[in-house]
């Protein structure tokens, strides 16, 4: 099956959608550069696309949406760009808190929030706490997240439990180890989407995406539309998922 979708592949069976879609929101900088705009303009446009796609996922019945918002490596970017991303996140969270009762979307954050400003960290915690009562669509925001960092933290936590006599190395199972991850309690993604033209996983959900289907597109994230999501869903539905079997 092709990694990239074709323009005509847009017929979707909405009764058999993936339960969990994950997206690497890539291409904001390239989108801005192609228009002669600063990279910060690309991130602003990308934030609006995130709002559109998250709302659409809720409307069509996708239970979980996980997005890669800021990686552990993104701190290496220029301070101005990092600051702009954090300001956009703050703006979105403040709006999300006010809209929660209407949208009924549950939010969770995957990643180490301690390097964030106290104000932004408090907003993240308040968003999680306020939306925990909702059982509809859940949006997971990967913030200061890295797949390798997540696995190291999980391994250390399990080792600490073993050292404390709470567990034993020989008893460890896949399911038990998953409980030590940021994504504990969330089913693995069925479909991972990467816009922006790059064809790599970039340290995103390394454990969780072991058997996910992948969809890559040259469309930059700010231009990623509902139609492009439907195209990704159609490609996903055209594949046979065997999970290592025949």
Nearby residues of 111 by Cβ (< 8 Å), 6 or more positions away: 70, 72, 142, 143, 144, 145, 146, 150, 182
Q: Which residue out of 13, 28, 74, 135 is catalytically annotated?
A: 74
Is 26 annotated as catalytic?
yes
Q: Which residue out of 13, 26, 167, 203 is catalytically annotated?
A: 26
Which residues on adjacent β-strands are paired with residue 143? 70
CA dist., res. 94 & res. 161, Å (int):
37
Q: Confirm if 160 and 169 have CB atoms less than 8 A apart.
A: no
Is 223 annotated as catalytic?
no
Q: Confirm if 131 and 125 have CB atoms less than 8 A apart.
A: no
What is the set of active-site residues?
Answer: 26, 74
């Amino acid at each position: 099956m092709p990694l990239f979708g074709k323009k005509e592949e847009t017929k979707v069976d909405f009764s058999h959608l993936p339960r969990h879609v994950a997206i690497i929101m890539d291409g904001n900088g390239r989108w801005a550069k192609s228009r002669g705009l600063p990279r910060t303009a690309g991130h602003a446009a990308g934030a609006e696309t995130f709002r559109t796609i998250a709302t659409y996922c809720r409307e069509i019945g996708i239970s979980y949406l996980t997005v890669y918002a800021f990686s552990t490596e993104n701190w290496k970017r220029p301070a101005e760009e990092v600051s702009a991303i954090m300001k956009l996140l703050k703006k979105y969270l403040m709006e999300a808190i006010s809209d929660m009762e209407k949208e009924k979307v549950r939010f969770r954050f995957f990643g180490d929030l301690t390097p964030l400003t106290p104000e932004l960290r408090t907003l993240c915690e308040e968003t999680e706490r306020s939306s925990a009562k909702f059982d509809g669509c859940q949006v997971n925001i990967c913030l200061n997240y890295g797949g390798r960092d997540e696995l190291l933290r999980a391994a250390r936590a399990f080792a600490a439990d073993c050292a404390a006599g709470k567990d034993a190395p020989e008893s460890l199972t896949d399911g038990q180890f998953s409980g030590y991850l940021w994504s504990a309690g969330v089913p693995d993604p069925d479909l991972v989407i990467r816009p922006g033209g790059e064809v790599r996983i970039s340290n995103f959900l390394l454990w969780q995406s072991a058997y996910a289907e992948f969809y890559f597109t040259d469309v930059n994230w700010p231009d990623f539309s509902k139609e492009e999501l439907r195209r990704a869903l159609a490609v996903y539905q055209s594949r046979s998922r065997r999970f290592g079997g025949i």
